[in-house]
């Protein structure tokens, strides 16, 4: 410990040493669990406060799982996705989706329902096809990747070079010029393997390729390609790029190992239009004592232009809406505001969320907790959380209230493209943790439909989301940072 030089000079070392207990107490008060009047609150005291919410948590859980709200989040999601369908950034469908949700939230009686305008990318897929012409004729299932350029109207027809890694591509760079590079990379994890989708086109262009086809980022396939966003690197030629199925990638790899010449004809009508106007959609339950302080719940309203966007991220939208409805139905108004934000243009890199952050970061000290559900609403296990050790200890007590539905896990590292800026700035963040082993089976595919969703699982997710949001918003103190 370093002694304060002014105190030492004025009072002498002995008197400063005598004040050490007070100095330590002051430090603990400022950095751990304190009320505004500087009274230290021990974790034991906060734990007792949280345990007092057990009966309220039970009411929320009962309403969501067995009561009149049972299956409501599922039914709302089904009506929404069946009516609107998929809703890619910049599209008419996304505009319809936002208007639909705005109207529905007002009709539900939620507070401060409004739209916050943002600018979003507008990429259009157009018609696309890929056909193997050698060593045999075969029509391939493809999905162009977001931000990809298109081909000419005649398309691109070229010999294929199959590689399994960026390292192999670089080692065979002399073979790549004028060819279509096919990546047959194994699926390790989404976080690691998605680099091929993101950067595969530019890496292929660096060695002279005319297009790239990337094995879909998934562990399982039934001849189903998976789309997603890709990023061209500065100063590198832009070449067309699409994802193909695991089956076709592996077939071409086998052909290449046998020494067979592979030729593919690729046609893509993709184009990027000027940025479009869009909106983040907001609704609240306004706090009774500290309305300026916020617990934020969220999911993203946009999706890719395939399937229904029911899992990614209709489920996150539906349970966030349902959490507010459950609290409204029970007449529960916490001390702080619970704000739901339905993000736009998440799939293009959290575009709507980043503009929301820029608009609201001046009020960052009043953001208590930010939450996002964007990895499916399967059977919930608990939360993933990022925050201080003190905040984590408090959240451990909060999730214990979910014992009746066995969702008490608190894992490290909250996730979510839309909340990461807040977490990086020090705001505690939480993401829904579910049994999501099958998430990447359907992710960004035509298979992302209501068939993936379960009303029972969504009931449980809604209960978890509502309990955590309410209790954190109603505690005497904000979570420590």
Catalytic residues: 346
Hey, how many other C-beta atoms are within 10 angstroms of the C-beta on 157? Answer: 16
Quote the CA–CA distance of 375 and 469 in Å, as a whole number.
18
The single residue listed with the structure tokens 């939480």 is 430
Could you tell me if 64 and 463 are in contact, meaning their C-beta atoms sit under 8 angstroms apart?
yes
Angle, in degrees to the nearest 10, between helices 72-84 and 315-329: 140
- Cα–Cα distances in angstroms (integers) from residue 21 to residues 27, 28, 44, 97, 394, in the given order: 10, 11, 21, 59, 25
Q: For 118, phi and psi rounded to 5 degrees?
A: -145, 165
- What does the angle CA 454 – CA 375 – CA 355 come to, to the nearest 5 degrees? 125
163 CB burial (10 A radius; 0-12, 13-18, 19+): buried
Angle, in degrees to the nearest 10, between helices 54-65 and 315-329: 120
- What does the angle CA 427 – CA 433 – CA 435 come to, to the nearest 5 degrees? 170
Residues 6+ apart with CB under 8 A from 81: 308, 309, 310, 314, 449, 450
- Cα–Cα distances in angstroms (integers) from residue 330 to residues 324, 341, 452, in the given order: 10, 21, 30
- What does the angle CA 448 – CA 450 – CA 451 come to, to the nearest 5 degrees? 85
Quote the CA–CA distance of 275 and 456 in Å, as a whole number.
39
Pairing mode, if any, of strands 138-140 and 271-285?
A: unpaired
Quote the CA–CA distance of 223 and 251 in Å, as a whole number.
12
- Cα–Cα distances in angstroms (integers) from residue 262 to residues 132, 179, 190, 252, 255, in the given order: 7, 10, 28, 7, 8
Convert 174-219 into a string of H (helix), E (strand) and C (coil). Answer: HHCCCCEEEECCCCCCHHHHHHHHHHHHHHHHHCCCCEEEEECCCC
289 CB burial (10 A radius; 0-12, 13-18, 19+): exposed
């Amino acid at each position: 410990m370093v002694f304060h030089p002014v105190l030492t000079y004025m009072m002498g070392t002995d008197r400063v040493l005598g004040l050490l207990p007070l100095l330590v107490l002051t430090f603990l008060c400022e950095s751990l669990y304190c009320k505004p009047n500087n009274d230290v609150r021990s974790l034991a005291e906060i734990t007792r406060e949280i345990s007092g919410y057990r009966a309220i948590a039970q009411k929320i859980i009962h309403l969501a799982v067995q009561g009149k709200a049972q299956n409501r989040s599922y039914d709302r999601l089904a009506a929404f996705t069946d009516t609107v369908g998929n809703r890619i950034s910049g599209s008419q469908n996304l505009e319809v989706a936002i208007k639909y949700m705005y109207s529905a939230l007002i009709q539900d009686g939620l507070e401060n329902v409004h739209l916050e305008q943002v600018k979003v990318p507008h990429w259009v897929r157009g018609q696309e096809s890929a056909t193997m012409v050698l060593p045999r004729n075969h029509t391939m299932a493809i999905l162009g990747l977001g931000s990809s350029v298109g081909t000419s109207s005649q398309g691109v027809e070229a010999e294929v070079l199959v590689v399994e890694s960026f390292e192999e591509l670089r080692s065979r760079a002399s073979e790549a010029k004028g060819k279509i590079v096919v990546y047959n990379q194994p699926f390790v994890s989404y976080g690691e393997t998605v680099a091929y989708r993101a950067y595969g086109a530019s890496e292929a262009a660096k060695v002279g390729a005319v297009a790239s086809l990337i094995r879909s980022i998934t562990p399982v396939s039934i001849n189903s390609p998976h789309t997603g966003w890709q990023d061209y690197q500065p100063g590198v030629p832009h070449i067309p790029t699409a994802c193909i199925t695991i089956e076709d990638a592996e077939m071409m790899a086998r052909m290449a190992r046998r020494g067979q010449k592979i030729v593919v004809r690729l046609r893509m009508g993709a184009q990027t239009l000027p940025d479009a106007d869009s909106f983040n959609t907001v609704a609240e339950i306004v706090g009774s004592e500290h309305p300026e302080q916020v617990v934020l719940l969220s999911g993203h309203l946009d999706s890719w232009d395939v399937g229904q966007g029911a899992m990614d991220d209709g489920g996150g939208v539906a349970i966030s809406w349902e959490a507010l409805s459950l609290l409204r139905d029970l007449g529960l108004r916490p001390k702080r505001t619970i704000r739901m934000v339905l993000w736009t243009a998440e799939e293009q890199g959290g575009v709507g969320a980043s503009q929301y952050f820029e608009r609201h970061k001046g009020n960052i000290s009043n953001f208590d907790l930010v939450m996002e559900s964007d990895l499916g609403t399967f059977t919930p296990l608990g939360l993933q959380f990022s925050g201080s050790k003190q905040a984590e200890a408090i959240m451990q007590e909060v999730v214990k209230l979910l014992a009746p539905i066995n969702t008490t896990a608190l894992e490290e590292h909250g996730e979510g493209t839309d909340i990461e800026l807040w977490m990086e700035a020090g705001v505690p963040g939480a993401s829904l943790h579910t049994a999501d082993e099958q998430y990447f089976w359907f992710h960004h595919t035509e298979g992302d439909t209501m068939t993936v969703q379960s009303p029972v699982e969504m009931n449980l997710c809604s209960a978890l989301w509502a309990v955590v949001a309410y209790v954190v918003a109603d505690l005497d103190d904000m979570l420590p940072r």
